[in-house]
Structure 1
Amino acid sequence: MRLEHIKDRSAPAPDNGRKRGLAVDALGLIIAVVVTAASVTDTAIGVRLLDKVVEHTPTVTRAWVDAGFKHDLGIHGAVLGVDVEVVKRSDSKPGFVPVAKRWVVEQVNGTLMLHRRLVREYESRPESSVSRTLWASAANLVRQLTGTSTPSWRDPT
């Protein structure tokens, strides 16, 4: 009986996972990054992203999000003056079908994963993880501007 009582009062196990939320423009340039604990809902991340986007880029009037975001994000966007549109995938086509408006952020996520420090969460603070994401994005932009290819880590022979 006493063990159960102590067990009930013990703190929950720490959650070491992280989620990264990105807001990108139509060209794939990062507007805002939010890194949170993995337990934070997608809608809460979306609200933080919208706040950052409006703060840093007040000319944004429309945002496309996937179906994982709830109706509350649309309400928050309306308060901020941003039209939030949910882009759903086709139910009639099985398998992976790229959706044009959502595909840009997926491409950015894919190119960011080419950077070793972003594949796993090595940073102890979320702010450091945001900085790493922005540095990786800058490196990708430099590669695009100079016309160099992304590193492949394969033996050229």
Structure 2
Amino acid sequence: MVTSADVGGRTAAKVLLARVREAHHRLALVWADGGYTGSLVEHCLAALGLVLGIVKRSDDMRGFVVLPKRWIVERPFAHLMRTRRLVRDVERRTTSAEAMVYWSMTMVMSRRLAGSRPARA
């Protein structure tokens, strides 16, 4: 889901999680960044029946450390940045930006389905 820049992450998360809950009834646990703490955790449990697990960085960690489960979120961002058009925010409409995300992830999925290519001679 792509939103305009004036929509906050927690506000967008409520809408997104409601859509995901409607489409995937068996979903029970969602992992989120430390920025999504607070009322969103209670909202997910009360309104959607979802447990929102917050992956927090501990205070004693120094430097760059990959948090458990965090790579699951970061990997799709890396795939999206491989699509040149998504490196910059050039889209005027959120619908076209969202279409570019679908296109990029469709390329990733089709490559995975096709399997590895034979080495060139």
Pair in the same fold by TM > 0.5:
yes
Match of 1:85 among 12, 34, 53: 53
- Relative to its length, the structure with more strand (as a share) is 1
Task: Map Cα deviations across residues 30-57 of structure 1 (whole Å, 9 max, x no partner).
Answer: xxxx211222222112112211211221
Answering whether residue 81 of structure 2 is matched by residue 108 of structure 1, we say no
Does residue 132 of structure 1 match 2:113?
A: no
Q: 1:47 aligns with which of 14, 22, 30?
A: 14
Change (3 A) 1:145 1:100: farther
Q: What residue identity is the alignment partner of 2:4?
A: A
Q: Percent of pairs identical after alignment?
A: 36
Could you tell me which runs of 5 or more consecutive residues in structure 2 were left unpaired when the two chains were aligned.
none
Compare relative contact order (CA 8 Å, sep 6+) and give the higher one, 1 or 2. Answer: 2
Amino acid at match of 2:112: Q
Larger radius of gyration between Structure 1 and Structure 2: 1
Distance, in Å, in 1 between the alignment partners of 2:99 and 2:26 is: 24
Structure 1: gaps of 5 or more residues: 1-33, 150-157
More helix by share: 2
TM superposition score normalised by structure 2: 0.86
Change (3 A) 1:48 1:123: same
The counterpart of 2:63, out of the listed 67, 77, 95, is 95
TM-score by length of 1: 0.68
Q: CA RMSD in A?
A: 1.6
Count of aligned pairs between the two proteins: 116
SS of the residue 1:100 aligns to: coil
